[in-house]
A and B are shown apart, each in its own frame.
Chain A
């Protein structure tokens, strides 16, 4: 009998090794379940236009909070069917039965020009207030104010800043078929065109303070690196050589741009000091191409693409070019690496089984796992909190932008028109409305 059990156990263990797909779909008790009530308005109605705007703003707030992997917004259809008059008719039991732990209550008022919102975060289980703040802004900034509120609420609930106050820079062909640089909100709202190159723009990268974007532009008939200042609305040439200058990456202290420079057909990585314009060469491989660098969050290392082994693979070296070692050993083509701000993971584009997919490599474990499988998925870029990835995918035909959690769940499409690629996630902003 014992032998039989041993044989069964042995056989079972052979089936225990899964493939390299890791999916965390249940965060269990670490999920904070919140309800965002319909806004309490001091007037019955502000007119049809405002009433629908108010409903939209509540939805934006729900979307912002639900975006976090640690917060779940309970669906409004489950809420108790009565007009909530906080705090008078809050029955904790009604909320506990649908699993809600925290209530978000917004008192809204507007005179048409200015908007005022008093935000209350209330713990159902503790029957106490956790946070209260009054926000005011011009009516046109209302959506941004919602994002600011959402990040403040996120901080109260999780101890970390949210990413609702972020932007995504990307390349799109929606204007006349040419690749130009665009910026939109993290949820895809309000894309706006930044460049006028009528040629080719590639590889945007945000400065660490979020005030500038570096990118490659063919505007002057040669791939040069330009910098766009978003506050001054001005584009300047940062790096121009006879050969190509491509794939810029800003260092975390904002002092350097690492980029790929081509001399006589050979591409090597160089560091450009942004203030002094001094250049330092980092790689010396006359028979290999280097490109697409990214800094580690402490600025001490640079991961990049090199084809020195015969095909493009991801390598890492220290920020002066020494101690180079290879990171990817799976897949015939690995490119476009981005280093998470948490320091422990890189994401990159990998041709693993015949098509490009998004791969994440935990640097301490060494084995990659693949987050996508349908269509061609490329150009991943981490959110500033390291919990999300934005990428481009042609799963519906043309390349569109999507965001997803770091484990591949909660995929959301954020672009609609044209062909969109090479997204870069901005650092967090803290918008003020005074």
Chain B
């Protein structure tokens, strides 16, 4: 008698326990998703390869002359070589004179100097379409002193590179 009572109590207890159960442990919420920062783009180091540049040097002349001086030939040939290398480059040849002489005649003389350089370069194989000529006469001096040194610097043809 007593044993069946015990068994009932035990069963009831077990059932009670079983039904109510241990406090259910809710499984812990899943961890929030870790914000993964976007991958950092790896910056390619910019290596500047210097492009070879045209460096065309100014050519100088004697007083009242437009012929290419022997001592200027080397730099002129160098300029021509560079222009051969850089086949895309077009150039304006700007002729200038020193302040002696009249402004009017010097306009014509400057043009003659620019053209003498153009002819030289053409004979060297540079296409004439790449060479424009211009004269500024004595109107655009690089220096203004009335000295031989300054005059020497002004009798020139400059190479202006245009794209």
Determine the interface band of chain A, counting residues with CB < 8 A from chain B: 35 or more
Chain A residues near B115: list those with CB within 8 A.
264-266
In the assembled complex, how far is the CB of residue B105 from the closest CB belonging to chain A, in whole angstroms? 5
Evaluate contact between A335 and B104: CB separation under 8 angstroms: yes
Evaluate contact between A422 and B112: CB separation under 8 angstroms: no
Evaluate contact between A336 and B108: CB separation under 8 angstroms: no
Q: Which of chain B's residues has its CB closest to A307's CB?
A: B105
Say which one of A25-33, A105-113, A240-248, A360-368 lies at the interface with B: A240-248
Provide the bound-state CA to CA distance between A379 and B102, in Å: 8
Evaluate contact between A202 and B104: CB separation under 8 angstroms: yes
Partner of B102, one of A179, A260, A289, A378: A378
Evaluate contact between A333 and B101: CB separation under 8 angstroms: yes
List the count of A-B residue pairs having beta carbons below 8 Å apart. 80
Evaluate contact between B64 and A311: CB separation under 8 angstroms: yes
Q: Which of chain A's residues has its CB closest to B112's CB?
A: A265
The answer to whether the Cβ of B103 comes within 8 Å of any Cβ in the partner chain is: yes
Say which one of B2-10, B49-57, B68-76, B130-138 lies at the interface with A: B130-138
In the assembled complex, how far is the CB of residue A204 from the closest CB belonging to chain B, in whole angstroms? 12
In the assembled complex, how far is the CB of residue B122 from the closest CB belonging to chain A, in whole angstroms? 11
The answer to whether the Cβ of A200 comes within 8 Å of any Cβ in the partner chain is: yes
> With A265-B118, A265-B133 in contact, do A289 and B104 touch (Cβ < 8 Å)?
no
Chain B residues near A260: list those with CB within 8 A.
108
The answer to whether the Cβ of A357 comes within 8 Å of any Cβ in the partner chain is: no
Evaluate contact between B111 and A292: CB separation under 8 angstroms: no
Evaluate contact between B133 and A421: CB separation under 8 angstroms: no
> With A265-B115, A378-B102 in contact, do A202 and B64 touch (Cβ < 8 Å)?
no
Chain A residues near B91: list those with CB within 8 A.
none
Evaluate contact between B139 and A291: CB separation under 8 angstroms: no
> With A223-B135, A265-B115 in contact, do A291 and B108 touch (Cβ < 8 Å)?
yes
Evaluate contact between B108 and A349: CB separation under 8 angstroms: no
Evaluate contact between A289 and B112: CB separation under 8 angstroms: yes
Q: Which of chain B's residues has its CB closest to A202's CB?
A: B103
| Cβ < 8 Å to B, chain A residues 275-304 | 289-292
Evaluate contact between A292 and B136: CB separation under 8 angstroms: no
The answer to whether the Cβ of A203 comes within 8 Å of any Cβ in the partner chain is: yes
Q: Which of chain A's residues has its CB closest to B117's CB?
A: A265
Chain A residues near B101: list those with CB within 8 A.
312, 333, 335
Evaluate contact between A203 and B111: CB separation under 8 angstroms: no
Chain A residues near B116: list those with CB within 8 A.
265
Partner of B108, one of A200, A267, A421: A267
> With A246-B107, A264-B115, A265-B111 in contact, do A349 and B102 touch (Cβ < 8 Å)?
yes
> With A265-B114, A267-B111 in contact, do A200 and B136 touch (Cβ < 8 Å)?
yes
Chain A residues near B114: list those with CB within 8 A.
265
- Binary interface encoding of chain A residues 246-273 relative to chain B, with 1 for a CB under 8 A from any of its CBs, else 0: 1100000000000010101111000000
Evaluate contact between B108 and A335: CB separation under 8 angstroms: no
| Cβ < 8 Å to A, chain B residues 48-95 | 64, 66
Partner of A266, one of B105, B112, B137: B112
Chain B residues near A246: list those with CB within 8 A.
104, 107-108
Evaluate contact between A222 and B134: CB separation under 8 angstroms: yes
Chain B residues near A291: list those with CB within 8 A.
104-105, 107-108
Chain A residues near B112: list those with CB within 8 A.
265-267, 289
Provide the bound-state CA to CA distance between A55 and B54, in Å: 68
The answer to whether the Cβ of B109 comes within 8 Å of any Cβ in the partner chain is: yes
> With A291-B108, A335-B104 in contact, do A244 and B139 touch (Cβ < 8 Å)?
no
The answer to whether the Cβ of A426 comes within 8 Å of any Cβ in the partner chain is: no
Q: Which of chain A's residues has its CB closest to B66's CB?
A: A265
Partner of A289, one of B108, B133, B139: B108
Partner of B105, one of A200, A262, A289: A289
Provide the bound-state CA to CA distance between A80 and B89, in Å: 81
Evaluate contact between B102 and A336: CB separation under 8 angstroms: yes
The 6 closest A-B pairs by CB, nearest first: A265-B115, A267-B108, A289-B108, A335-B102, A200-B139, A262-B111
**Which residues on B are within 8 Å of A, measured CB to CB?**
64, 66, 101-105, 107-109, 111-112, 114-116, 118-119, 133-137, 139
**Which residues on A are within 8 Å of B, measured CB to CB?**
179, 200, 202-203, 216, 218, 222-223, 243-244, 246-247, 260, 262, 264-267, 289-292, 305, 307, 311-312, 333, 335-336, 349, 356, 378-379, 421-422
19 further interface pairs, Cβ-Cβ under 8 Å (given A202-B103, A222-B134, A292-B105): A200-B137, A202-B107, A202-B137, A218-B136, A218-B139, A246-B104, A247-B107, A260-B108, A264-B118, A264-B133, A265-B111, A289-B105, A291-B104, A291-B107, A291-B108, A305-B104, A307-B105, A312-B101, A333-B101
What are 18 A-B residue pairs whose CB atoms fall within 8 Å in the complex?
A: A179-B139, A202-B107, A216-B107, A218-B136, A222-B134, A223-B135, A244-B135, A246-B108, A247-B107, A265-B66, A292-B102, A292-B104, A311-B64, A312-B105, A335-B101, A335-B104, A421-B103, A422-B103
